[in-house]
């Protein structure tokens, strides 16, 4: 197979001249240059799926904003990471995440260590713009160490990707459609009965919310090790 040549591209982010490689995304180059773009489904070390739309940016000459975690850089492009339109869109995305499931932070085990919560504070989301749907899903607490609570899930699929791409188990998948979509183990077995799960806990570490968490620990003891994936990928690359 002929490998595509990687070329250097020059472009602008928020008026700042930046340089990247043609196989990089706008988000990667922004992060390399300490330009902050909010994300949710993205996690360094995993593939990007562009599902949450939190990282949208505007491109000069293009009508619709695009997700910066999946968009490759182009020579001469002019990227805007923040504008009244983008801010309103990000607020609406967050608002929909809150109203779709049950996010009562005061009674959540990851209260204080939740990326949905911290993003809302960061973007100054004072209230939800969309009506609460009060979805109710069964909680799976069958595993000896972990709990799967779909009521807190934002369907970012980080857990599926880490299980597939890093652990190599592919124990998780999405099941159902629309509002009823949820994360399942194997063929929708209780977590304890999953034959492909290795109980490594990586899915729990990367989950941005309280949808996956460790059993029998208090709010103060919760430590999500989201950066562990970047470390694992880096170390594998060095071998």
Q: Tell me the C-alpha distance between 77 and 56, whole Å.
A: 15
Residue 233 contacts which entry, ligand FES, ligand SF4, none (Cβ below 5-8 A, type-dependent) = none
Q: Give the DSSP per-residue string, 175-232.
A: ESSGGG-EEEETTTB-GGG-SS-----HHHHH-SSTTEEETT--GGG----TTHHHHH
Which partner, ligand FES, ligand SF4, none, binds residue 159 by CB below 5 to 8 Å per kind? Answer: ligand SF4
The two three-digit tokens of residue 172, written as one number: 């998780």
Tell which positions 16-55 bind ligand FES, by CB under 6 A: 39-42, 50-55
CB of 193 to ligand FES, least distance (A): 31
CA distance 213 to 204: 6
| Partner from ligand SF4, ligand FES, none contacting 195, C-beta within 5 to 8 A by type | none
Closest distance of CB 223 from ligand FES, Å: 23
**Least distance to ligand SF4, CB of residue 28, Å:** 21
Backbone dihedral angles phi then psi of residue 214, each to the nearest 5 degrees: -80, 145
CA–CA distance, 149 with 183 (Å, rounded to integer): 9
Residue 69 CB, nearest distance to ligand SF4 (Å)? Answer: 15
Task: Give me the 59-78 binding string for ligand FES, x by CB under 6 A, dash otherwise.
Answer: --------x-x---------
Applying CB under 6 A, what is the total number of residues that bind ligand FES?
12
Decide: is 162 part of the binding site for ligand FES (CB under 6 A): no
Q: Is residue 157 a contact point for ligand FES (CB under 6 A)?
A: no
Q: Length of the chain in residues, anyone?
A: 239
Alpha-carbon distance of 53 to 64, in angstroms, equals 12
Interface residue list for ligand FES (CB under 6 A): 39-42, 50-55, 67, 69
């Amino acid at each position: 197979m002929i490998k595509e040549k990687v070329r250097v591209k020059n472009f602008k982010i928020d008026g700042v001249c930046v340089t990247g490689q043609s196989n990089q995304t706008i988000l990667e180059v922004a992060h390399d240059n300490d330009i902050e773009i909010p994300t949710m489904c993205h996690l360094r070390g995993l593939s990007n799926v562009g599902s949450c739309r939190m990282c949208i940016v505007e491109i000069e000459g293009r009508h619709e904003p695009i997700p910066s975690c999946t968009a490759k850089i182009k020579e001469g492009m002019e990227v805007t990471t923040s504008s009244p339109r983008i801010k309103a869109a990000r607020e609406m995305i967050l608002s929909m995440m809150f109203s779709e499931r049950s996010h009562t932070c005061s009674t959540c085990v990851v209260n204080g260590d939740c990326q949905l919560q911290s993003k809302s504070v960061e973007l100054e989301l004072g209230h939800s713009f969309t009506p609460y749907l009060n979805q109710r899903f069964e909680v799976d607490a069958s595993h000896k160490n972990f709990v799967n609570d779909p009521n807190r899930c934002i369907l970012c699929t980080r857990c599926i990707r880490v299980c597939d791409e890093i652990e190599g188990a592919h124990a998780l998948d999405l099941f159902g459609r629309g509002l009823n979509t949820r994360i399942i183990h194997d063929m929708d077995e209780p977590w304890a009965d999953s034959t492909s799960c290795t109980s490594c806990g990586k899915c729990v570490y990367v989950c941005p919310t309280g949808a996956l968490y460790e059993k029998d620990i208090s709010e103060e003891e919760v430590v999500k090790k989201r950066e562990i994936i970047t470390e694992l990928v880096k170390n594998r690359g060095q071998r």
